[in-house]
Amino acid sequence: MATGHGEAKGQKAGTQADGGHHGGAFPPFEPTYFASQLVSLLIAFVALYIIVSRFALPRVGGTIEARQNAIESDLGQAQKLKDESDAALKAYEADLAAARTRAQSIGHETREKLNAAAEIQRKALEEKLAGKLADAERQIAATRTAAMANVRTIAADTAGAIVQQLTGTSPDAATVKSAVEASLKG
């Protein structure tokens, strides 16, 4: 055992001579260095805490506060624009409803005016046609009366012409007239 132990020491010594490395554990894990490491860690932590609390955190806090203010400002502006948009939409809808009402009333008035004008024209046309119809009826009545007055004469002339055609002699006008009268009376 002693030789095995000596060999380990010899190997340890040989390793230091060969590579120049320390023997033993990793230095931060060696208990002899714990106190100095803790003091160094404490000094580094305090320095880091002071740097962060005095310089970095106020800048980050200022940036966060500036962003928060910008977000609140943007939200306020967006709400204001939304309210303006809603008000404009309501005004537009009110104007549109008023325009529709005006258009309907204008259309109704125009329709009534056109209907009244058409009615006046229709009545005037009816009166004109009634006048023409009355004139035509008077003319027809006069023509009928004249025709009826001439029917006897025409009948007598026609009967005389037929008798002359059949017999070859011209009949007496008084005889033909009396025969026509007798036949019309029935």
pLDDT tens for each residue of 49-63: 999 889 888 888 889
Is residue 10 over pLDDT 50? no
Instruction: Give the H/E segment covering residue 124.
Output: helix 57-167
Is residue 11 over pLDDT 60? no
Is residue 22 over pLDDT 60? no
Q: What is the mean pLDDT of residues 3-7?
A: 48
d(CA 176, CA 155): 9
Q: What is the pLDDT of residues 120-142, one digit of tens each?
A: 999 999 999 999 999 999 999 88
On average, the pLDDT of the chain sits at 84
Tokens coding 83: 């309210």
Q: What is the mean pLDDT of residues 19-43?
A: 77
With a CB cutoff of 8 Å and minimum separation 6, the contacts of 41 are none
Q: Is 159 exposed, middle or buried (0-12, 13-18, 19+ CB in 10 A)?
A: middle
- Specify the higher pLDDT residue, 70 or 147: 70
Task: Tell me how long the chain is.
Answer: 186
Is residue 165 over pLDDT 60? yes
pLDDT of residue 24: 67
The answer to whether residues 176 and 160 touch, using CB atoms and an 8 Å cutoff, is: yes
Say whether pTM exceeds 0.85.
Answer: no
Position 6 confidence tier, pLDDT thresholds 50, 70, 90: very low
Tell me the chain's radius of gyration from C-alpha atoms: 68
Is residue 1 over pLDDT 70? no
% pLDDT > 70, the chain: 87
Q: Half-sphere exposure of 131 toward its Cβ, with a 13 Å CA cutoff?
A: 6
Going from the C-alpha of 10 to that of each of 18, 27, 48, 67, the distances in angstroms are 12, 22, 45, 68
Going from the C-alpha of 70 to that of each of 56, 58, 66, 67, 82, the distances in angstroms are 21, 18, 6, 5, 18
